[in-house]
Amino acid sequence: MCGLAGYRALMLRLGCVFVLTLVACRTESSGASAPGQGDDTGTTPSTRVGEPAAAAEDQPPDCGAEGRVWDGRLAGCLYEHAGCCYDTPLAACTAAGCPGENCRILESAPAQLYCA
């Protein structure tokens, strides 16, 4: 009986070490951004690259003639760039300064764009 109890205790210890090792490795290489460095939920408007976050919050973005400021809701916003909604992909790509062939529309809601 003593041999079985010792074996179970050893297996329990090894199991704990294995689980703790997995947790530690996952925590170090999770790839998640640090707090305040991005929002992957898609529920907040994106800011312009290089623009300080405080300035983006103080003033509404300049959306030009074809865009309107995004209120953060999906309804009525098909394409979003830099905190502005656009009705067509061409208008969003033009606002982003992306030539036609280089503008890629990403599958998201609202749709984001990527300059290739």
Reported as a single tens digit per residue, the pLDDT across 24-50 is: 656 555 444 444 444 444 555 555 555
Nearby residues of 106 by Cβ (< 8 Å), 6 or more positions away: 112, 113, 114
Question: For residue 103, what pLDDT is reported?
Answer: 92
Question: For residue 33, what pLDDT is reported?
Answer: 46
Q: Pull the structure tokens for residue 52.
A: 């300080």
**How would you class 85 by CB atoms within 10 Å of its CB: exposed for 0-12, middle for 13-18, buried for 19 or more?**
buried
pTM (2 decimals)? Answer: 0.49
